[in-house]
Chains A and B, each alone.
Chain A
Amino acid sequence: DTGVSQDPRHKITKRGQNVTFRCDPISEHNRLYWYRQTLGQGPEFLTYFQNEAQLEKSRLLSDRFSAERPKGSFSTLEIQRTEQGDSAMYLCASSLGSADTQYFGPGTRLTVL
């Protein structure tokens, strides 16, 4: 399968713990996006990478969130000191270029207790 993959698919954690999610994009895609989605809402943009460079980060994103794409391939999203409001589906998508179709991974569902 050459689609976007994410790991883990589900994560349950206690408030205050750190969590890290991984995304493996489609191999030739330069762009990688992270979104957060809560029930009944559209995907909310978090950040994106052009190869290994993080070009934009949502102003709504807390300093507890950090993302990396060290070699321009896979990416990680870390949330430090999780809060109950962080509970959501975290989606990763990749595309060839800025205006190209974004292909989504299956998402990581985070539950903070």
Chain B
Amino acid sequence: QQPVQSPQAVILREGEDAVINCSSSKALYSVHWYRQKHGEAPVFLMILLKGGEQKGHEKISASFNEKKQQSSLYLTASQLSYSGTYFCGTVTSDNYGQNFVFGPGTRLSVLP
């Protein structure tokens, strides 16, 4: 089952903050965050594991709430280079093993 991402799109001015949410209907083993710029392949940002943790990468950080089966990506003091589509990828487990599914993406536009 594909995770749900919100919002679908967001427009910011340079220096503003944004939060992107990713939620699953199934228990999560881990959550991966990727950014994809137009015409390029997705690029890994960070991974959050069950039992973790909030992670940070420059001014981009993320949290993982196991009970709520969701993760949030926080972009602080956004820069023009943050523009792109952000995908979460969720890893869930069932009797057949682990499954990795990408969300539909959140399109972020940072304007000067």
Contact = CB atoms under 8 A, between A and B. Distances in A.
Contacts of A106: 40-41
Contact of B44 (A99, A101, A105): A101
A65 to B, nearest CB: 19
Interface residues of A, number: 19
Interface in B7-38: 29-30, 32
Q: Is the interface of A mostly helix, strand, loop or mixed?
A: loop
A105 B41 contact: yes
Interface in A31-60: 33, 35, 40-45
Contacts of A104: 41-43
B84 interface: no
Q: Is the interface of B mostly helix, strand, loop or mixed?
A: strand
Number of contact residues on B: which range applies?
Answer: 20 to 34
A67 interface: no
Nearest to B40: A106
A110 interface: no
A91 B89 contact: no
A29 to B, nearest CB: 13
Given A91-B41, A99-B29, 11 more contacts: A41-B105, A42-B2, A42-B87, A42-B102, A43-B87, A45-B101, A99-B30, A99-B100, A103-B44, A105-B41, A106-B40
Nearest first, the 6 A-B pairs at minimum CB distance are A104-B41, A42-B102, A98-B98, A42-B105, A99-B91, A43-B102
